[in-house]
Amino acid sequence: MNPDLSDTIRRLIREHISEHQDQPDMKELQRTAAKYELLPLGFNWDPCCITPTGDVVVFSWVDHEGRRIESDRRLVNTILYQGIQKYPELSEWMPVRTDNDVECDSCHGTGIEPLTAAHGVSNIVCFCGG
């Protein structure tokens, strides 16, 4: 992990914690982010975060202690894609397509879910993860 990127993630965690001070529904997520040094990137029903070491962590809204490192590459790509939309500073984590990667039949490698994109909504990630 690039030390500069680790520092960037730590800075973004501090900003996340301070920017939601007036939002009661974010208090528990803020406490979890501070306690375990997690940056929320998006939600796949439940919070999906990244650590300063680059691990993608998921946990349930009802059990913040039950967090785990996500190992499913498709889900990791989806989570990173969501996070990079919110935090462009993390763009070096954008998954890079290789010549050996199979192109998704649905989004054709864009990462954007095509049915919602056709209606002007571009923040829904395709099932393939991008």
In tens, the pLDDT along 8-52 reads 999 999 998 888 667 777 788 888 889 999 999 987 778 899 999
* pLDDT confidence bin for 6, thresholds 50/70/90: very high
Q: Name residues whose C-beta falls within 8 Å of residue 126's C-beta, 6 or more positions apart in sequence.
A: 104, 106, 107, 110, 111, 112, 113, 114
Would the pLDDT of 124 be above 80? Answer: no
pLDDT at 20: 66
State the average pLDDT for the chain: 84
In terms of Cβ atoms closer than 10 Å to its own Cβ (0-12, 13-18, 19+), residue 29 is buried
Instruction: For residue 22, count other CB atoms closer than 10 A to its CB.
Output: 6
pLDDT cut 90: percent of the chain above it: 28
Decide: 5 and 90 in contact? Cβ < 8 Å.
Answer: yes
pLDDT, average across residues 54-63: 88
Domain residue spans of the chain: 3-95, 100-130
Q: Could you tell me the pTM of the whole model?
A: 0.80
